[in-house]
Amino acid sequence: MLFNSIDFGIFLPIVFLLYWFVANKNLKLQNFLIVAASYLFYGWWDWRFLSLILFSTIIDYTVGRKLRTEENQNKRKILLWISIIVNLGFLGFFKYYNFFLDNFITAFSFFGAEIKANSLHIILPVGISFYTFQTLSYSIDVYKRKLEPTKDFIAFSAFVCFFPQLVAGPIERATHLLPQFNKKRTFDHLKAVDGMRQILWGLFKKIVIADNCAEYANLIFNNSNDYSGSTLVLGALFFTFQIYGDFSGYSDIAIGTSRLFGFDLMKNFNYPYFSRDIAEFWRRWHISLSTWFRDYLYIPLGGSRGVTWMKIRNTFIIFIVSGFWHGANWTFIVWGTLNAIYFLPLLLTNNNRNNIETVAKGKYLPTIKEAFLMLMTFGLTVFSWIFFRAENITHAFQYLKGIFHYSIFSIPEILPIPILILITLFMSMEWFFRDKQFGLQFDNAKTNKVIRWSFYLIISFTIAAFFGKGSSFIYFQF
């Protein structure tokens, strides 16, 4: 079920009313309703893959219960590895089987050996990369004794399949989200209103910004040989705003929807395109995944401690794995490697935590230096997105070859002025709210009610004007 669909527009208020007016006095009933609604939400796409979520839930719940009473360290490790192998086994089979098979055949062909093996027609379950990492965080934290395992199977099931963030995050930690299912929840009007505003902003990002940018990004990328260098640059820019509007829009809708039901999810995007270096960008982009890899992979490897070669090794590992997490294609690995190359000089010179505070905090405009750093970081990001979007490595290099051509100085063949104006207005809004949790988070005490509602109505009418394309979210494929 898509957030930007009529189906969800009907589904959400029904679940909301049942949750607060029928099950509001019974915590277990509320949790059961969430599980039922989440399975319906996911099964709307393909009910057959519900068995994967259920099996993963049973395995990790059982492992957690066993870890609670098991004191033998070797047996505890075995239990943890059962969880890791089962979860990553499913992920590896559905997402990477054909990739490894094809590359295995290619490698042997290079040495003159011919291997015959057939690829499988595998449908990638939506959201498997997200809920797999979420439930793994539970097993790992219980193993490390950072979290007391739950006895409540329904609450644990709700944690694994919570529908607002089930298919595209944020990837929640068990230590943060699971305890919320064990606490009595009461309706908070202010939290619900704030949630509705965040949902509205997320829909604007997706329907107005991302979907319109996607139309031109797809046209240019799919026919890149036919366009000038300047048009290819524009295509890369359109994809840059498409992926941000699409993914951060999903996160805003997920977080806002969760607030309607009394839950707080972690912030997943923090205005990343205003970053002054790549390290800051990765603290602001897909925060739930970045911090997951940091805590469960980077730090266990040694992090930024140790000798120089270890720092370099760990940096490349975390970025390459992050790239591979996104998909079974060498383009994602190159994308991750590029970001490791961007990040490494900052780490080795101890400048990776220079920009912690919000840029130009308390000011209307950045300094010339800040503007230059933001522009440079944005340019590096746009460059790497070309590999992320390209069909394959050959396509990526052909695209770049087309950019670095004298035609880059020509007028683009495609120049949709209305969309460019929308992007400019969108980024202006983002800049104005950059110290808030999301765009449209007005301070009611400081902002006139007429001004606030004018924004809400204008944005609502704009969404309605562009509604109807019903395109899926980019990160559903990951």
**What distance, in Å, lies between the first and last C-alpha atoms of the chain?**
16
**HSE, side-chain direction, 13 A CA sphere, residue 348:** 16
Output the CA–CA distances (angstroms, integers) from residue 60 to 78, 154, 226, in the order listed.
Answer: 13, 13, 51
Asked if residue 235 lies in contact with residue 221, where contact means CB atoms within 8 angstroms, the answer is: yes
Measured between alpha carbons, how far is 192 from 178 in angstroms, rounded to an integer? 20
DSSP one-letter string for 44-89: HHHGGGHHHHHHHHHHHHHHHHHHHH---HHHHHHHHHHHHHHHHH
Measured between alpha carbons, how far is 241 from 235 in angstroms, rounded to an integer? 10
> Which pair of tokens denotes residue 445?
């005490």
Query: Which of 99, 102, 137, 130 is CA-nearest to residue 116?
Result: 102
Measured between alpha carbons, how far is 41 from 53 in angstroms, rounded to an integer? 13
Residue 412 DSSP code: P
Alpha helices in 188-307 (DSSP H): 189-203, 211-222, 229-260, 278-284, 287-293, 299-301
Calculate helix-pair angle for 6-21, 27-46, nearest 10 degrees.
Answer: 170
Contacts of 148 (CB under 8 A, 6+ apart): 68, 142
Sign of the Cα pseudo-torsion (142, 147, 148, 150, in order) = negative
Please pick, among 176, 189, 326, 405, the residue that the annotation labels catalytic: 326
In the residue annotation, 395 being an active-site residue is answered as no
Long-range pairs, 115-124, Cβ under 8 A, ≥24: 122/93, 122/94, 122/97, 122/98, 123/46, 123/94, 124/94, 124/95, 124/477
For the CA atoms of the chain, what is the radius of gyration? 23
What is the largest distance, in Å, between two alpha-carbon atoms of the chain?
74
Asked if residue 276 lies in contact with residue 373, where contact means CB atoms within 8 angstroms, the answer is: yes
Q: Which amino acid is at 54?
A: L
Vertex 382 angle, CA 379 and 386, to 5°: 140
Calculate helix-pair angle for 50-69, 73-110, nearest 10 degrees.
Answer: 140
Measured between alpha carbons, how far is 270 from 282 in angstroms, rounded to an integer? 10
Catalytic center residues:
326
